[in-house]
Structure 1
Amino acid sequence: MSELHLVRAAGRRIEVRDSSGEDADPASAAQFVYLGRQPILDREGALNAYELLFRAGAHNYAEVTDDAQATAQVVARALGGIGVPAVLGQHRGFVNIDRAMLFDDIVHVMPPERFVLEILETVKFDAQLARRLTELRRTGFQVALDDVTELSDELLAMLPHADIVKIDFLQTGRAHLAELAAAMRGHGKTLIAEKIETREDFALARELGFDLFQGYFFARPQVLAAPRNRSPRPALLRLLALLSRDAGIIELEAELKLNPSVVVQLLRLVNSSAFGLGRNIASLREAIIATGTRQIARWAQLLLYADSGDLPWRADPLVQLAGTRSRFMELAAGWMRPADDEFTDAAFMTGIFSLVHVLLGSTPKAVLEKLGLAPQIREAIVSRSGPLGTLLRIAEAAGEGADAASIAIGPDAPPGFAALTPEVLAELNLSAAAWFGAHVEEAAA
């Protein structure tokens, strides 16, 4: 029997479980969302931060099969499912993040003063990643490098783009610890000793000048649980459709009122201190104004990612195809018109909605008319007309391995499409696949 404590935060019942066993009742577990957190302490033993960890149930281990989906669920549960005050209090949260999520606009749903982006050791460093990390740090995020075990050329290349280095005490040879720690201190990085399991390791880490400490010697992760709020995909898609055509507050308010679970999470998001408002938002209209439509769109997309449905996100071929296509179109639009954010956003939405009829078991025309989608997006999908329609045809061809470049230079292609050369299209296709986190072949396997 696991030890169970109850705390109340923001009027909501949150269960804190110190558990190493299985869920007592699997059926009951399906009605809750879970999140792990492990303390990160300073040199005096005071709480400094938490690392937030994916948990599928009350059992205290991860079961991560999809890094991007796990990150999406951790963020969704921390911000909307449970709430930042209950999860973090006044402290920061470290969130494991893979390459796909790093390049996703959704990352900005996290307030940078409350969350640290902990880069997984599997993320490969290159010039594109360097530019992205520079952008994220410029907006206020701190970047931590996870599971560092040795000095390497790749580590040294990443250091200018990171603020914190976490050194793995279980995997790093004792003979190299002092040299590694000294090198990181020499670069001005905050040092975290992770996987500290003995008093001797803690003493050694303090002696070597580490700033922060994490591991089983101090505390095992706690598991937080809260009642699950269902966010059905059709409702989220309708919300995204309204946002795509710049619907007014009255329309957004009316749609949100039909979906209480989304409203609950939106209000929790706004009230979570993520926006530094200094006051609680009680009404839906206030929440919409305070959050802003772009942030609501990010939140809806995050919930789509986090909602795995009947299949894990990366194992759902329809979700994979829509996600990869939408990212490809967004990248291509940005390549052609780098200063036109409206066109870029519309391209992403066109990709998202180009397969929604399959999700809802209907025809494109019928589904899109009911959603009240922006006319240029609707016409692009139904009749493949206009610049967005041409871009959709290019995305479809690129996704099927066909000659997409011939469409870009065809007689009916709008001005500017010739910039999508075969080389550019190949690079965009690869970037879109990396952003989504898996290839179609992996999803179908």
Structure 2
Amino acid sequence: MSERHHAKAAARHNEVLDAAADGAESWRATQFVYLGRQPILDRDGALNAYELLFRAGAHNYAEVTDDAQATAQVVARAIGGIGVPTVLGQHRGFVNIDRALLFNDIVHLMPPERFVLEILETVKFDAQLVRRLGELRRAGFQVALDDVSELSDELNGALPHADIVKIDFLQTDRAVLPKLASLVRGQGKTLIAEKVETREDFALARDLGFDLFQGYFFARPQVLAAPRNRSPRPGLLRLLALLSRDAGIVELEAELKLNPSVVVQLLRLVNSSAFGLGRNIASLREAIIATGTRQIARWAQLLLYADSGELPWRADPLVQLAGTRSRFMELAAAWLRPADDDFADAAFMTGIFSLIHVVLGSTPGAALEKLGLAPQIREAIVSRRGELGTLLRLAEAAGEGLDAASIALGPDAPTGFVAFTPEVLAELNLSAAAWFGAHIEVAIA
């Protein structure tokens, strides 16, 4: 449920707080993480699910400036910061999600039987998105359309690819409601009446056959809080470097022991219903084995995405560039060698680490030496050699709008790179941009 209209009014009200109260709130925000949840009820008034909402502090209103950043923090806090059992109990959680995160591996951190992907109303449906939603639904996720308020061609096009439709009772014309509800029910979708604020609206929604209900008439969001876990960027980078070269359990265990906050979150993750183990994991080694290195890598990337120090992932132009570049390289590697997942993973990690020297304020050679990256990844970044090095040069050229195809056709290009025609490179670049967020403007001083 979009809360922007509530946020503005609440923010104006809170301007009257005095400086002392502001200072106390600021201190609490640095010590705790917060998460909002609002009940979703069935026709009998029983709790059916929660919508999980971003909260920057203990105040109960939204302050969302970046949808992907907010969702990443909601997921991080629900799974690792507070814990799924505490946040959801036995119920499902609806999570707002934008286009960029739909194409991000982070989505797979959420167990599909516990989380519903609530597609923001700003997301535009196209063939690429439809394919992605098909993949996610086949993986077990349910998809909800958020803030529906009118009959439209866009709604008709989106309905076949969704399971649940949330109709906004504050925005929908009452004359349109019966036909809108009938259309959605006629296609077998679950109907949720959201932003229900009066008894009359609740009665109307029941009469129109809505299945579930959410709004201030029933309950305002509750704010949950937990002590903030610090996830230092250098430790996460070292962990990702170990994962990039297939480090053994002993090395991973040793690195994780240096990062207690990451260990706490990892144990919460593996003890959640995401893995269905039916038993609690107590030791770090068991957690690594049960979670798997690919899932640990996803988690580490999420922590970087959601809480990376002075700048959040999407607010840091260097990390924006590294993220888009890494996805381009992964896609290009898969195009070059469709059956070689290890090569695609190595390409992704090459992109991730190709700008780390700038983030860490060092030189490429020195920064990568300290991280102990796999030799082929280090060689690709430092000297631009080999297949990974050529993929990196392609990614750099494509990202800067240069003639990447000429690199693929160059005399030093490895065998097979001739397949990267201008059309293929344009498609890869577009897919990479969609994965990390369309129309990202990168500015490096």
TM range (shorter): over 0.9
Q: Which residue of 1 aligns with 2:101?
A: 101
Amino acid at match of 2:381: I
Q: CA deviation at 1:102?
A: 0.2
Q: Which residue of 2 aligns with 1:135?
A: 135
Whole-angstrom CA distance in 2 between matches of 1:439 and 1:130? 20
Q: CA deviation at 1:358?
A: 1.1
Q: Which residue of 1 aligns with 2:357?
A: 357
Whole-angstrom CA distance in 2 between matches of 1:413 and 1:311? 37
How do 1:288-303 residues align onto structure 2 when only pairs under 5 Å count? Answer: 288-303=288-303
Q: Which residue of 2 aligns with 1:11?
A: none
Whole-angstrom CA distance in 1 between matches of 2:444 and 2:47? 44
CA distances 1:91-148 after superposition (whole Å, capped 9, x unpaired): 0000000000000111101111100000011111011111101100111111101011
Whole-angstrom CA distance in 1 between matches of 2:273 and 2:43? 28
Q: CA deviation at 1:62?
A: 1.2
Amino acid at match of 1:333: A
- Does the 8 Å contact 2:28/2:57 carry over to 1? no
> Aligned with 2:38: secondary structure?
strand
Whole-angstrom CA distance in 1 between matches of 2:337 and 2:132? 19
Q: Which residue of 2 aligns with 1:247?
A: 247
How do 1:34-433 residues align onto structure 2 when only pairs under 5 Å count? Answer: 34-433=34-433
Whole-angstrom CA distance in 1 between matches of 2:155 and 2:142? 17
Amino acid at match of 1:373: L
Decide whether aligned partners of structure 1 residues 99 and 256 sit closer, same or farther in structure 2, where only a CA change above 3 A counts.
Answer: same
Q: CA deviation at 1:317?
A: 1.1
Whole-angstrom CA distance in 2 between matches of 1:436 and 1:165? 26
Q: CA RMSD in A?
A: 1.5
Whole-angstrom CA distance in 2 between matches of 1:145 and 1:234? 38
Whole-angstrom CA distance in 1 between matches of 2:116 and 2:386? 41
Whole-angstrom CA distance in 2 between matches of 1:308 and 1:62? 21
Whole-angstrom CA distance in 2 between matches of 1:440 and 1:280? 41
Q: CA deviation at 1:196?
A: 0.3
Amino acid at match of 1:243: L
Q: CA deviation at 1:336?
A: 2.2
Whole-angstrom CA distance in 1 between matches of 2:391 and 2:79? 34
Whole-angstrom CA distance in 1 between matches of 2:310 and 2:425? 33
- Does the 8 Å contact 2:318/2:442 carry over to 1? no
Q: CA deviation at 1:315?
A: 2.5
How do 1:424-443 residues align onto structure 2 when only pairs under 5 Å count? Answer: 424-437=424-437, 439-441=439-441
Q: CA deviation at 1:439?
A: 3.9
Whole-angstrom CA distance in 2 between matches of 1:308 and 1:172? 40
Q: CA deviation at 1:25?
A: 3.0
> Aligned with 1:174: secondary structure?
coil
Decide whether aligned partners of structure 1 residues 308 and 255 sit closer, same or farther in structure 2, where only a CA change above 3 A counts.
Answer: closer
Alignment gaps of 5+ in structure 1: 1-19
Instruction: Report the TM-score when normalising by structure 1.
Output: 0.93
Amino acid at match of 1:407: I
